[in-house]
Amino acid sequence: MDTRKVLSGLCYFSIFFAGILFPLVVMLASGDDVTKSHAKKAFLSHVIPLIPVPLLIFAIFSDINTINNEAIPVFTLVTAGIIVLVTLIVTIWNVIKGVKALTME
């Protein structure tokens, strides 16, 4: 198997083992334009699930009174659900793109 294919695929699969770090290192260290392109795409897809995290932190602090009153913290639960859904979608997308990168011509 070609080194380009392996590195490109590993950039996407690194969502399971190295997160943001592996695509960033490959993006900075690789001299191949195709591998750099895949590393950039993988890096951006690894960052996407982190975008709603500040919203979750805000939701937790805004629902503190609700939690103290033993009511259901709806804002926090909806935000956490959105984060789980986005993470699941991004993970599936990375697996698909990783397989495509390994089988590219």
pLDDT of residue 45: 92
Confidence of residue 67 (pLDDT cuts 50, 70, 90): low
Please give the model's pTM, rounded to 2 decimal places.
Answer: 0.82
Do 23 and 43 form a contact (C-beta atoms < 8 A)? yes
pLDDT of residue 105: 61
pLDDT of residue 41: 93
| 64 or 28, greater pLDDT | 28
- Rounded Cα–Cα distance for residues 32 and 37 (Å): 9
Mean pLDDT along residues 55-82: 81
The helix/strand count (H/E) of the chain reads as 6, 0
